[in-house]
Structure 1
């Protein structure tokens, strides 16, 4: 699968636009559901390659495939059934880090180095005011996790050894949070990085939707306001995706079913310093987004009511599937995966597969 082939497959004439998984397959590109064997909701997803992916979700569930989704192995950490995993970052088929969310000690980080055969708890939050939402890695050693504001500022957790140990960074370089502002643990994409030091944090719930940017691995931050619905605890930016340190996409809206989410996407060409609303945004709330590796213009966005594609770097979006997904991720070899409620995990296929 190449970027141009996927773009062509997903830009069929309007009369042929797919409305179901089967119709999408006939159009040449589709999400192919895989047999997860689980009813968990998978909001955490890490695409390693076309054949290998990890998902993490409710009921303390972690699954892994190494055969393109034909079989999913349950590699959940023992005794984690009461935890809510919302993010997973995988380095390969054997090494991965998962984040559990929640107040106080419910927020935890686990790491495996043997494909999930064993896990080590490497962080447990002891501050009852903290609530961790997302994490990201710059490389195999350096990563960050973020918590909702504590004492009026977002809290950033840092690792320099691949998630084996963590420390809270000083908050003197973090701008104040808005009243009611927080991150959304909806897709594992409220914190994302590009390159060796740039990272972006997506927010909602405040008077304005914002994206905060750091160019020094989370020590100092600047904030930008986005033209995405805000002013309510259910509205804001739910996911950000950057294909390099300059070009980014943001998606969100109002996550409540049936609520309008106009202007649910925006784009940036200056590293998140400013944002422009999509001229043709997705038709509803979207919780996850991912660039197609190797493409300067093609990306996917997903949510409970469907999948949209852009082939012009976020200026316009078109719905190509109506299945429910919470998150999406693409591997360097252009293998794309999506996951969501009721154990749904899918792999993107084209006529070439």
Structure 2
């Protein structure tokens, strides 16, 4: 990986998670300056007592959520954000945890990113009291960016290209064991093409077999789709700007196999990001401001519970009803 590629992942500050999930799942509301909501739904900050930057987020429900971030920090709440418990994996203090997938209040899988052995997978079955390192990358050419699960057993993790193709890990036992999938069904990567390990949404799934992979850094920003859990893939060009290591698709979200949205652009400060969102199907065409705060990622649970997370320990829960007081 080049120095530019490494820098792109470590310092990229994108709000793809907020744009992606809010467009598909969250109710809309009008915000006043400072993020305060006069009426309708709005984001309510919760106290985490940490300065970690949370780019990994898993919403289990209105009461339960997990966040993962810088310094190997993992927090969990089971009371709607009133209290957060530090459940960080032992020995992960020097790692960047950029993605976390949770099945319930006790079971979760977290991914740390980086070159070589910095890319690892951890899993817990007891609410974070103990963690098991179930995968450690031993290939210096690989850099894992994101992971996703189809159900509580089957999941994938993706790495930047190795030998000219994106590398994909697969698990069929909830993250206990991982294997590298054959790359014969993966299209060749463009020169400089890679994923953005910014918010845990460069690899997303919908249903029990469909998965999408977001790319940038190449001549064309692309979205790769697999309908067989990562065995074969088809690449589609995105209109999102590309042609530079800082440009491309940052994150994706799909509500089913035909309706999705891609968000990206140019992450560098001061650079315009025209045409930074594109949709497939008929969803995500209208946008309204929900909050002016800084968030890196948003996730919503099946029961309608939505959470947002970002820098300086910011974690917020979406207030569903009208404001009080």
TM-score, normalised relative to structure 1? 0.83
Deviation of 1:256 (Å): 1.2
Structure 1 CA distance for aligned equivalents of residues 185 and 219 of structure 2: 22
Structure 1 CA distance for aligned equivalents of residues 26 and 218 of structure 2: 37
- Unpaired runs of 5+ residues, structure 2, are 1-22
Is the contact between residue 157 and residue 170 of structure 2 (CA under 8 Å) also seen in structure 1?
A: yes
Q: For residue 320 of structure 2, what is the aligned residue in structure 1?
A: 350
Structure 1 CA distance for aligned equivalents of residues 245 and 313 of structure 2: 27
Verify: 1:150 aligned to 2:150, yes or no: no
Q: For residue 114 of structure 2, what is the aligned residue in structure 1?
A: 102
Q: For residue 240 of structure 1, what is the aligned residue in structure 2?
A: 252
Q: Deviations over 1:148-171 (max 9, x none)?
A: 000110000000000000000000
TM-score, normalised relative to structure 2? 0.90
* Residue in structure 2 matching 1:217, options 216, 229, 235: 229
Q: Could you say what secondary structure the match of 1:319 adopts?
A: coil
Structure 1 CA distance for aligned equivalents of residues 66 and 26 of structure 2: 23
Deviation of 1:320 (Å): 2.5
Verify: 1:43 aligned to 2:13, yes or no: no
Q: For residue 286 of structure 2, what is the aligned residue in structure 1?
A: 316
Q: Deviations over 1:239-298 (max 9, x none)?
A: 1100011111111111112211111111112xxxxxxxxxxxxxxxxxxxxxxxxxxxxx
Higher relative contact order (CA 8 A, sep 6+): 2
**Aligned length, in residue pairs:** 300
Is the contact between residue 326 and residue 340 of structure 1 (CA under 8 Å) also seen in structure 2?
A: yes
Deviation of 1:350 (Å): 3.1
* Residue in structure 1 matching 2:308, options 315, 325, 338: 338
Mapping of residues 159-198 of structure 1, within 5 Å: 159-198=171-210
Is the contact between residue 300 and residue 307 of structure 2 (CA under 8 Å) also seen in structure 1?
A: yes
Q: For residue 35 of structure 2, what is the aligned residue in structure 1?
A: 21
Verify: 1:136 aligned to 2:106, yes or no: no
Q: Deviations over 1:208-228 (max 9, x none)?
A: 110000000000000001111
- Unpaired runs of 5+ residues, structure 1, are 270-311
Structure 2 CA distance for aligned equivalents of residues 179 and 40 of structure 1: 34
Q: For residue 63 of structure 1, what is the aligned residue in structure 2?
A: 75
Deviation of 1:28 (Å): 1.8
Change in 2 beyond 3 A, CA 1:6/1:342: closer
Q: For residue 124 of structure 1, what is the aligned residue in structure 2?
A: 136
Deviation of 1:316 (Å): 2.8
Q: For residue 8 of structure 2, what is the aligned residue in structure 1?
A: none
Structure 1 CA distance for aligned equivalents of residues 172 and 34 of structure 2: 44
Q: For residue 218 of structure 2, what is the aligned residue in structure 1?
A: 206
